[in-house]
Amino acid sequence: MPLIALTTVALLALCIAADGSNATITRTDGGTREGYITVTGGRVWFRVLGAESPKTPLLVLHGGPGATHDYLEPLATLADERPVVFYDQLGCGNSDRPDDPTLWTVERYVAEVGEVRDALGLSRVHLLGQSWGGGLAAEYVIAQKPDGVESLILSAPLLDTDRWVADQRANLAAFPDEMQEAVREAEASGNFDSPEYQEAMAAYYARHLCRTDPWPECLNRTFEKISLPVYLGMWGPSEFTCTGTLREFSVAGQLAGVPVPVLFTCGKHDEATSEAMAYYRSLVPGSELAIFNGASHSHHLEETDAYLAAVREFMRRVDAAD
């Protein structure tokens, strides 16, 4: 494995030095590198932590769609052992936000993952996706069949839109009738600013999105920066209805063909239900599932130490078996 002898720093340096490189570093601070990568449609922002480590990097794909990397910042702890690479998908966070709804497609975001890898010289990588990022990671491996992906870590992934919507509707049915009616009225009228709808969603999120009170600062930061054009264009008006480009999304039928080790994770109270995750695990030979009993969709924030330990141990085992 001669490429492993090159650290991520060396690969980045080669990338930056090359004529016509798609990556530009704007900040270097010890083992941290930040900058921008030119992808189809604009530039995306990235940050590499632990860049001097020679171990296989972890590339992190955030959810949303339309969220940012911020709420996944606890994964930076893993940079004590290997490079950890964050980036904000196009239209999100620190990246360019072009006014072009034709860019908000699964296919373009899949291509973006490859463009980021190429620009940063990530010839070998562990790929972690959370929520929509999990579906993106799975689709990237299935559709592109890329070389060098050592493992997939799918944290509360969106893998089938119909199943996801059905699970959210089932979750909603466990709430009081007046809350359900507030959601129905908002979806019918298009008025998602009503106090009744906002209260209903706050209650839903407190049970199924993040159960800590107050929410961690990094999650609040992501919510403050959510890209509504991307969320509305890819998903739709609410958590319970998909009208965007993800409305027919499903990789469930192709999961058996994933050729790398897979770790699924979820919380017991997750939007990505433990029953759904157990089903997806059954479709991937040799895959693993970690369920965090006191947690929900943000189990990496609610049970951070246990989550990081599970991810760290999984990657170590994959590295050792290589």
The residues annotated with a catalytic role in the active site are 131, 270, 297
Dihedral sign from CA coordinates of 249, 252, 253, 259 = positive
Q: State the Cα–Cα distance between residues 94 and 68, nearest whole angstrom.
A: 8
**219 touches 206 (CB < 8 A):** no
Q: How far is CA 223 from the centre of its chain?
A: 15
Rg of the chain over Cα atoms, rounded to whole angstroms, equals: 19
Q: b or e along 31-56 (b: 16 or more beta carbons within 10 Å of the residue's beta carbon)?
A: bebbbbbbbebbbbbbbbbbbebebb
Query: Which strands, in side-by-side order, build the sheet including 42-49?
Result: 23-29, 32-39, 42-49, 84-87, 58-61, 125-130, 149-155, 262-267, 288-292
Residue type (1 letter), 8: T
Q: State the Cα–Cα distance between residues 48 and 75, nearest whole angstrom.
A: 12
Q: Around Cβ 160, how many Cβ atoms within 10 Å?
A: 21
